[in-house]
Amino acid sequence: MNSLFFFFFFFFFSTASTTPIPTTLDGPFKPVTHRLDPTLRQGSDDVPMTDPRLARKVDSIMPEQIALAASYSPSSIWVSWVTGDAQIGANVTALDPTTVASEVWYGEESGKYGFKQRGNSTVYSQLYPFAGLLNYTSGIIHHVRLEGLQPGKRYYYKCGDSSLSAMSKEHSFKTLPSPGHNFPPRIAVVGDLGLTRNSTSTIDHLASNDPSLILMVGDLTYANQYLTTGGKGVPCYSCAFPDAPIRETYQPRWDGWGRFMEPLTSKIPMMVIEGNHEIEPQIGGMTFQSYLTRFAVPSQESNSNSNFYYSFNAGGVHFIMLGAYVDYNRTGAQYSWLKADLHRIDRQVTPWVVASWHSPWYNSYSSHYQEFECMRQEMEELLYQYGVDIVFSGHVHAYERMNRVYNYSLDPCGPVYITVGDGGNIEKIDTEFADDPGKCPSQSDNIPEFGGVCHLNFSTGPAKGKFCWDQQPEWSAFRESSFGHGIIEVVNATYALWTWHRNQDSYKENSRGDEIYIVRQPDLCSKSVQPITSKTGSPRSKEVLHASFLGFIFSSLFQQLF
């Protein structure tokens, strides 16, 4: 049945458009570059806090910033929201989260709520012990996990505290399909969103594609740049603020972002993973407080016990969200969890495995070039062994799709790596390529906020003996400096249509900047779980410059500061 459906689906789309949509079976593709359209600006200012889309629209006691997140299975979903007044200033007093209950009423019919579920609430503070810097304490953040839901069904819900007559208006969502050979309709993928006028354009375009799930691959609000840049962007923070021992964040930006996103996130689950802009260091060496407190993710449900990495199923797709800013070494907890998670997957039930983390391993832009080589060298073999199909990342503010690759060599069984860090944030679009004359970064550039430096000189192939290539690498199939988002539509256990949408409406019918069917070949690629020897650029070769763990330096620096 599935193959018959796909035949007609493929036939229709192949004949309806003038150019047939390619498949990965047609690859590897000759590398193609679309540079920044010179008629377009490279970026835009932040949306100001006075914008109505960022303003609170309900009384303080009422729920706002309502957001959904998938649980491990479609029988469960997380509902989160905020009540009360956040404070910012020299002196702030944390709210008492026990003063407001966390309730969700829900049912299958509008206005009829046969089920009620209670959850928990919490607050967080962002404190800076420096004269002139503003402290912040959040509103009360509520998380409730609904259980006993039917897959693929619409539910109607209200959230809030009924004892205070403070329930929200009705919202609704549709649960994801059950695992097996049911596949969710369009899944949107977006990274490095921020909250500029380009970001809002991205979200408008994303919403028009009516996704059933949103993957947000890190760097969400850029709250850590709003106040210090005045919403205009500063190309060099340390140049503008040479004496600042810590980068101050403007936490009300998170509240504005939550309000801006609510029309989408109150009806579509949004799955987040942390990026470097979520680190947000503060007093006592604390980091990631906003990310950890604001978002519910299915960590416990997926046996991870850390909100920095987790997994979940959406129909026949198993999603793995990895943390690039926590220990990813083979001896660490994340690696052990990942191995166990991969081992548990039944490909008869979830044939597709999609992994996401913030910082790309394969990237030919100058920006962040080879920045996360250490993570690649630790984890790539494991993902390859278990046949991960697609990897989504952000961090680089542009679009790039790779040919199937493993250990820097073209490989028909490697994952398809895709970078979609082009959500539209204040730092503007990346336009330079490491293979452009004079644009190869030095090995002291692109130092990650966590993890160390493992920059690699290539030991074989066209870039032998060098850090950068002289032309677009063969593993980079297509790259373009435009803002946008992607949509993945899984058709069946073998085919998934990936479409990258540029924001520029002036492209009209060409607004689909990249389209390809990603095709699984389990018969070709079924592997036993055993070590695979490296072929190119041996990770532990002499060329590797392996620095000590900057993450530990980073955290001990803050320990000393406070």
- Binding interface with Fe ion (CB under 5 A): 219, 275-276, 395
Question: Taking the CB of residue 26, how many other CB atoms lie within 10 A of it?
Answer: 12
Q: Say how many CA atoms lie within 13 Å of 455 toward its Cβ.
A: 19
Instruction: Tell me, letter by letter, the H, E, C secondary structure of 419-483.
Output: EECCCCCCCCCCCCECCCCCCCCCCCCCCCCCCCCEECCCCCCCCCCCCCCCCCCCCEEEEECCC
As measured in angstroms, the least distance from the Cβ of 397 to Fe ion is 8
- Tell me if residue 368 is catalytic: yes
Q: Out of 171, 205, 368, 455, pick the active-site residue.
A: 368
Cβ atoms of 494 and 448 closer than 8 Å: no
* CB neighbour list of residue 450: distance below 8 Å, 6 or more residues apart: 276, 279, 324, 325, 326, 550, 551, 554
Question: Taking the CB of residue 263, how many other CB atoms lie within 10 A of it?
Answer: 14
Residues constituting the chain = 562
By beta-carbon proximity to Fe ion, the closer residue of 318 and 485 is 485
Among candidates 258, 257, 229, which has minimal Cα distance to 244?
229
Torsion on CA atoms 323, 324, 326, 332, rounded to nearest 10: 80
By beta-carbon proximity to Fe ion, the closer residue of 314 and 322 is 322
Cβ atoms of 135 and 92 closer than 8 Å: yes
Per DSSP, the three-state class of 302 is: helix
By beta-carbon proximity to Fe ion, the closer residue of 395 and 479 is 395
By beta-carbon proximity to Fe ion, the closer residue of 252 and 394 is 394
In sequence order, what are the beta bridge partners of 501? 485, 512
Q: Among all residues, whose Cβ is closest to Fe ion? A: 395
By beta-carbon proximity to Fe ion, the closer residue of 219 and 474 is 219
Cβ atoms of 392 and 189 closer than 8 Å: yes
As measured in angstroms, the least distance from the Cβ of 360 to Fe ion is 10
By beta-carbon proximity to Fe ion, the closer residue of 108 and 449 is 449
Per DSSP, the three-state class of 265 is: helix
By beta-carbon proximity to Fe ion, the closer residue of 24 and 276 is 276
Tokens of 208: 């028009």
Q: Report the chain's C-alpha Rg in angstroms.
A: 23
CA–chain centroid gap for 509, Å, is 27
Cβ atoms of 373 and 389 closer than 8 Å: no
As measured in angstroms, the least distance from the Cβ of 278 to Fe ion is 9
As measured in angstroms, the least distance from the Cβ of 481 to Fe ion is 16
Q: How far apart are CA 101 and CA 63, in angstroms?
A: 11
Cβ atoms of 473 and 417 closer than 8 Å: no
As measured in angstroms, the least distance from the Cβ of 358 to Fe ion is 6
As measured in angstroms, the least distance from the Cβ of 325 to Fe ion is 10
As measured in angstroms, the least distance from the Cβ of 44 to Fe ion is 18
Give the DSSP letter of residue 457.
-
Q: Known catalytic residues?
A: 368
